Amino acid sequence: MSSESFSIVNIRENKLLGRRELLVEAAHLNVSTPMRQSVREWVSKQLGVDVSNVFVRKIKTKYGVGKSVAEIHVYNDSKLARVIEPLYILARNLGEEGKKLVEEARKRRNERREKKRKK
């Protein structure tokens, strides 16, 4: 993270969903695209919130320029985030805990399919 620098480009308050929607620009010359975890940690330090309330939606890298733009949602409550954010976003941001959530959802889906087949 030595040659990476981040800056917040835009902050938008979404009161209906209880979150802030950010655009963060990352400059990373001669280095790969920053990891989601490092972006989450930087945003949580800048805004003074817990890392569990920060979710990186996507990181889009511009080819050959060494700049990326990240779309981030920062929630007031992590329980609300788990209800609103799609499962794949939770899995990408929460690591092992996210993988467990995906496995539980697959099991529930397969159980529903089996019930339909039996009818």
Are residues 74 and 99 both part of a single domain? Answer: no
Are residues 81 and 92 both part of a single domain? Answer: no
Q: Which helix (DSSP H) or strand (DSSP E) does residue 67 occupy?
A: strand 67-75
Are residues 94 and 70 both part of a single domain? Answer: no
Are residues 80 and 96 both part of a single domain? Answer: no
Task: Dump pLDDT digits (tens) for 71-119.
Answer: 999 999 888 888 898 988 988 888 888 888 888 888 998 888 888 887 7
Say which residues have a Cβ less than 8 Å from residue 102's Cβ, sequence separation at least 6. 87, 88, 91
The residue-averaged pLDDT of 24-44 equals 90
pTM to 2 decimals?
0.81
Are residues 49 and 99 both part of a single domain? Answer: no
